Amino acid sequence: MTAAPKVLVFAGSSRQNSLNKQLARLVAKRIEALGGVATFVDLKDYPCPLFDEDIETQGMPENVLKLRKLLADHRALFIASPEYNGFITPLLKNTLD
């Protein structure tokens, strides 16, 4: 029997009552109900500096390393994100960078 896939779930919004954050939490619960393994993370708990190669040369910030490990430990990713001027939010763009 194969292990249930691990899915990392988060929202591209840091606002506490964000509809996207509520959706992400609901999706995580649904994944669990279907037998999967879901990890919901709030990006507000992982503040990262804006991407800057000068910072990168000094070593990756701790929260960047934590997020990188979370991504590596999961087989799938679910992102609920609002649209921001026709694109993803600055928070999500910086997180993915």
2 vs 50: which has the higher pLDDT: 50
pLDDT digits (tens, 9 = 90+) for 85-95: 999 999 999 99
Give the DSSP H/E element, type plus range, for residue 66: helix 62-72
Residue 56 confidence (pLDDT): 78
pLDDT digits (tens, 9 = 90+) for 22-53: 999 999 999 999 999 999 999 999 999 888 88
Residue 12 confidence (pLDDT): 95
Give SS3 for 34.
coil
